[in-house]
Structure 1
């Protein structure tokens, strides 16, 4: 792929993200994306096999930003913390801060994840797809148990509860532009730290 083709492909993906975030899944047609990108619909067909192919590219792009860059930034904060309590606080605050800084991508992700299907028609995202995130979060609670800072808890159940709270904030911040995610981060951090303390 030439540099020009790569730039054009990237522009199409960015236009699709804008359409998904602003107009939703059903309104994000190839024609709408072409209009957003300022190109012909035929040019999209040159780069993508169809709407699903484009949406998969959107998912890859957003996942790279959200799960790649977001994980790296949050992990750096966690690694810098010395206690299990501080690591948990860094995890919560880092995730929510990243969500706040990437509303557009979160809105697009919220449209793609429940709607994108496999070839057999089944949902592309199910419990198995979330397993690595839950397992990684559970490690924080396992660490707190090992150091004696956390009371006896089930790390996976607690990790699942925390992820629901973080993912819920991602939905809320898209639906409500006035949502105070900083206040939410403070309350959620305090709630979990008090809830797990030994």
Structure 2
């Protein structure tokens, strides 16, 4: 391995360490309690090294957002889609969707906590919130397909698929908030109740 490659790997490892430290601080101390100095201390580096890798606090938090949403959530989404695709009936697919989402949230409490701090606070250079109001549109549309499929097979009664999908997403997102606020929250029990509630509500 040549010297240039070693430097690149060192930089990549250090950048990842800074992002991980930022996630830890955000999850533990919140948006206002997290500073670059605190992140540097968490990562075990000097604050100057953060400035070397990131243009500023927003640049770092954008990297946190990308890591959580693009990397972690993308992997979780792929696993969840596999569970849904392998299910044979609309009811089984809906159950896989609900349980898959909540299992993922339960396994990533730290990342969910950090995301909950970044999303409502991170702003772009124009001062607008980084999160677009239309950002969840693909998620709602994809969820609606589950209800449309169930209606097409006759398993589900005719429902407003988009409205029902929106309602389900709010229930799932609510669990993400609850699990951060309450460490004792039983997300497995929540998954069972939510699955039962929606299946009873949409079945023909």
**TM tier relative to shorter chain:** over 0.9
Residue of structure 2 aligned with 1:147, choices 146, 153, 157 = 153
2:192 corresponding residue in structure 1: 186
1:19 corresponding residue in structure 2: 25
1:104 corresponding residue in structure 2: 110
Post-superposition shift, 1:66? 4.1
TM-score by length of 2: 0.95
TM-score by length of 1: 0.98
Q: Is 1:2 paired with 2:8? A: yes
Residue of structure 2 aligned with 1:46, choices 43, 52, 62 = 52
User: How large is the Cα RMSD of the aligned pairs?
Assistant: 1.0
1:124 corresponding residue in structure 2: 130
Q: Which structure is larger by alpha-carbon Rg, 1 or 2?
A: 2
Q: Any stretches of 5+ residues in structure 2 without a counterpart?
A: 1-6
Separation in structure 2 between the aligned mates of residue 110 and residue 65 of structure 1, nearest angstrom: 17
Separation in structure 1 between the aligned mates of residue 33 and residue 180 of structure 2, nearest angstrom: 17
Q: Any stretches of 5+ residues in structure 1 without a counterpart?
A: none
Runs of 4+ in 1 over 2 A off after TM superposition: 64-67
SS at match of 1:118: coil
1:78 corresponding residue in structure 2: 84
